């Protein structure tokens, strides 16, 4: 190892949501004077509006900091990572570019489900873990218990863990020192051919794809000819730089560095996250990427204004560029027209993508009810996988179906165990285990169909545990299940975008509540509209939306005419946003409302 790399540390921070990860990052930026205090805004690395508003980190952000320790100047590359279960994929990407991780544990909350799964990910990646106990200034902090929890549940020595308050800026220097002392320096070969891992990328209208890379071996500078090993395509590097925390051009990036490069890469697919760049004439093995994550929740996304289809397509492609966990396929719905069926890592991921489309690209969209991937065993021996209820074969052609199950862990205070056990029971879950993590926290383990989680499970968990419950799950396997397709008919026509696949035992209740909900959200039309929920030809629930009876009985004289005309024009404009199922006009809320029928 050369001398230069000895003074570099590449690390990330893993933590459960709300344990103070982004705040700690802020403090480190301040202490190292990477950002002047006056320019500091809260959660500076969370650059998306959405991240700041929700107080979560969605995308990973690398930042270079300088810190003097024992007479040497160290370069510390911090890669901020998301905490939510849906973004495990992003976490695994950042881990692949680090040698170590700071594990932040909230002294009042202790080790949470998500903490554990991220720690295991980090350990799998051979990362050195530096535990840090945060919020020690709070009266409810229970430092000794938490140290014991870390040692017991993770098996990590924690008695020397820095005790900090990120909010108050206490002992932040201890964290940096622990990073330098405990996390190994990178050990790449500087004069070997280039090997740089793309661990994120975003699209810039002027520069093309901006690839965020970790240089493992060799070096890259402006003018270098590089090759993406996975595709063999060759590019000329136009710009390299680092983030501190804003992009800053540099001359080159060397082994051990984290930074970005631009190379006039126009095709989104050519900057695919997980790819390895090398010198154009080199013949080296690609770097191991990281665990490719499979989407588990699927839903249709359609533009409200059908003229925006092309724009939506473009938006999804750009989002895919730095979120390769997002899966996108074109889809046509009778009710909603042209759109896309998208695969997500979870419900939050789905919400975040939808909101990003609306905010960053200004496209209003309709999202259909989320579904999981089902395996359909047909009577002719064929096995197909479907994630769109509209594609389900006829009942007579189906021998049986399987749905994905998860191993679900729920963490909560003991007083809510009863309520949550009831909830799990309602959701077709099988109880597996119950453990006291400590006197204040219980871990419940269930075997449960994923289908039930993506419906309203999370909301229910939160409300029945007064917000204290949290969950974590991993897909285990597929199991045979008695599933049926529930169709919704409006004025006797099937609305394909409202169809669902549900367990037979749940179909009646679900059908009834959807019919009731639709009656509420669909405005009365000029004629009576029957709303029916059906399984095959069998009607299991029916509501009637009465005909609209009055819209104008008022006067209309000279002074009113302009106003009246404008009102009508506006009304007509509003109707354009409605979707027509046969002759029934549906507002876009109708499609969302069936997600929340309880």
Partner 1 sequence: MRSLYIHIPFCQQKCYYCDFCSFVCSDDTQQKYVDKLIEELKFKGTKEQLKSVFIGGGTPSCLSENLIAKIMTAVSTYFEINETTEITIECNPNSLNEQKLKAYKCAGINRLSLGVQSLNEKILKTIGRIHTCKEFYQIAPLIQKYFSNFNFDIMIGLPNQTNFDVVDTIKKLMQFSPTHISMYSLILEENTKLFNQVQNNEIKLPLNDDVVDQYIIGLNTLKEFGFYRYEISNFCKKGYESKHNLNYWECGEYYGVGVSAHSYLNNERFSNTNNLIDYINCKNFEPFFKEKLTSKELIEERIMLGLRTEKGLNISKLKQNLNYDILKEKGDVIQNLLDNKFVKIEENHLKICEDKFYVSNSIIEKLI
Q: For binding to partner 1 (CB under 8 A), which residues are involved?
A: 526-527, 548-559, 561-562, 564-565, 568-569, 571-572, 575, 583
Least distance to partner 1, CB of residue 594, Å:
26
Tokens 């092309």 appear where?
310
| Beta partners for residue 398, in sequence order | 378
Interhelix angle for 172-182 vs 21-31, to 10°? Answer: 90
C-alpha distances out from residue 564 to 526, 550, 556, 567, Å: 20, 16, 8, 5
What does the angle CA 388 – CA 448 – CA 487 come to, to the nearest 5 degrees? 30
244 Cβ neighbours under 8 A, 6+ residues apart: 34, 63, 64, 65
Name the helix (H) or strand (E) containing 490: strand 483-490
Interhelix angle for 347-360 vs 309-321, to 10°? Answer: 120
Phi, psi (5° rounding) for residue 371? -135, 160
Task: Compute how many other C-beta atoms are within 10 angstroms of the C-beta atom of residue 208.
Answer: 20
The nearer residue to partner 1, 159 or 575, going by C-beta atoms, is 575
Tell me the two tokens of residue 521.
Answer: 């959200």
Least distance to partner 1, CB of residue 519, Å:
15
Least distance to partner 1, CB of residue 520, Å:
16
CA distance 244 to 172: 18
CA distance 319 to 298: 16
| DSSP designation for 454 | I
Please answer whether residues 215 and 188 qualify as being in contact, where contact means their C-beta atoms are separated by less than 8 angstroms.
yes
Q: What 3-state DSSP class applies to 407?
A: strand
What does the angle CA 319 – CA 321 – CA 323 come to, to the nearest 5 degrees? 65
The nearer residue to partner 1, 505 or 560, going by C-beta atoms, is 560
Task: Compute how many other C-beta atoms are within 10 angstroms of the C-beta atom of residue 312.
Answer: 24
Phi, psi (5° rounding) for residue 304? -65, -45
Tell me the two tokens of residue 594.
Answer: 């069936």
Name the helix (H) or strand (E) containing 110: none
C-alpha distances out from residue 307 to 190, 262, 311, 315, 359, Å: 52, 33, 8, 14, 18
Query: Among 516, 521, 404, 410, which Cα is nearest to 460's?
Result: 410
Query: Among 532, 520, 411, which Cα is nearest to 471's?
Result: 411
Please answer whether residues 440 and 408 qualify as being in contact, where contact means their C-beta atoms are separated by less than 8 angstroms.
no
CA distance 50 to 84: 14
Tell me the two tokens of residue 312.
Answer: 């939506």
């Amino acid at each position: 190892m050369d001398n230069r790399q000895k003074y570099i540390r590449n690390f990330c921070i893993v933590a459960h949501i709300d344990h103070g990860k982004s705040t700690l990052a802020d403090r480190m930026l301040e202490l190292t004077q990477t950002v002047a205090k006056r320019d500091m805004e809260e959660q500076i690395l969370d650059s998306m509006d959405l991240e700041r508003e929700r107080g979560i980190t969605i995308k990973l952000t690398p930042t270079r900091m300088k810190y003097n320790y024992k007479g040497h100047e160290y370069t510390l590359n911090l890669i901020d990572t998301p905490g939510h279960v849906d973004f495990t994929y992003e976490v695994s990407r950042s881990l692949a570019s680090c040698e170590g991780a700071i594990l932040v544990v909230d002294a009042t909350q202790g080790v949470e489900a998500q903490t554990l799964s991220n720690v295991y990910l980090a350990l799998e990646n051979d990362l050195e873990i530096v535990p840090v106990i945060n919020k020690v200034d709070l009266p409810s902090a229970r430092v000794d218990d938490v140290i014991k929890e870390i040692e017991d549940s993770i098996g990590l020595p924690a008695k020397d863990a820095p005790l900090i308050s990120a909010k108050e800026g206490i002992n932040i220097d201890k964290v940096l020192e622990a990073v330098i002392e405990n996390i190994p320096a990178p050990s790449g070969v500087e004069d070997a051919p280039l090997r740089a891992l793309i661990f994120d990328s975003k699209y810039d209208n002027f520069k093309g794809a901006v690839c965020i890379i970790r240089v493992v071996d060799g070096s890259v500078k402006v003018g270098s000819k590089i090759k993406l090993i996975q595709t063999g395509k060759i590019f000329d590097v136009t710009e390299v730089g680092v983030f501190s925390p804003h992009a800053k051009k540099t001359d080159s990036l060397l082994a051990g560095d984290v930074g970005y490069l631009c190379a006039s890469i126009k095709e989104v697919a050519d900057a695919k996250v997980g790819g390895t760049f090398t010198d154009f004439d080199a013949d080296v093995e690609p770097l191991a990427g990281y665990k490719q994550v499979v989407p588990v929740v699927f839903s249709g996304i359609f533009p409200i204004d059908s003229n925006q289809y092309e724009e939506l397509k473009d938006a999804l492609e750009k989002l895919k560029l730095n979120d390769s966990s997002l899966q996108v396929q074109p889809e046509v719905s009778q009710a909603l027209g042209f759109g896309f069926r998208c695969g997500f890592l979870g419900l939050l991921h789905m919400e975040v993508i939808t909101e990003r489309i609306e905010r960053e690209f200004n496209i209003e969209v309709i999202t259909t009810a989320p579904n999981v991937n089902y395996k359909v065993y047909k009577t002719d021996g064929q096995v197909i996988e479907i994630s769109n209820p509209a594609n389900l074969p006829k009942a007579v052609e189906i021998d049986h179906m399987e749905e994905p199950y998860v191993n679900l862990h729920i963490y909560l205070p003991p007083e809510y165990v009863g309520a949550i056990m009831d909830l799990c029971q309602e959701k077709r879950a099988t109880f597996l285990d119950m453990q006291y993590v400590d006197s204040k926290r219980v871990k419940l383990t269930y075997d449960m169909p994923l289908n039930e989680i993506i419906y309203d499970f999370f909301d229910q968990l939160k409300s029945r545990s007064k917000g204290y419950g949290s969950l974590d799950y991993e897909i285990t396997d597929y199991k045979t299940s008695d599933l049926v397709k529930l169709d919704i008919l409006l004025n006797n026509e099937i609305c394909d975008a409202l169809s669902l696949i549900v367990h037979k035992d749940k179909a009646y209740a679900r059908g009834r509540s959807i019919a009731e909900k639709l009656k509420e959200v669909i405005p009365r039309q000029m004629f009576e509209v029957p709303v029916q929920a059906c399984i095959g030809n069998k009607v299991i629930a029916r509501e009637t939306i009465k005909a609209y009876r009055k819209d104008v009985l008022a006067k209309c004289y000279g002074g009113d005419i302009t106003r009246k005309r404008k009102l009508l024009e506006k009304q007509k404009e509003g109707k354009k946003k409605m979707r027509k199922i046969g002759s029934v006009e549906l507002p876009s809320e109708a499609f969302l409302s069936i997600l929340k029928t309880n």
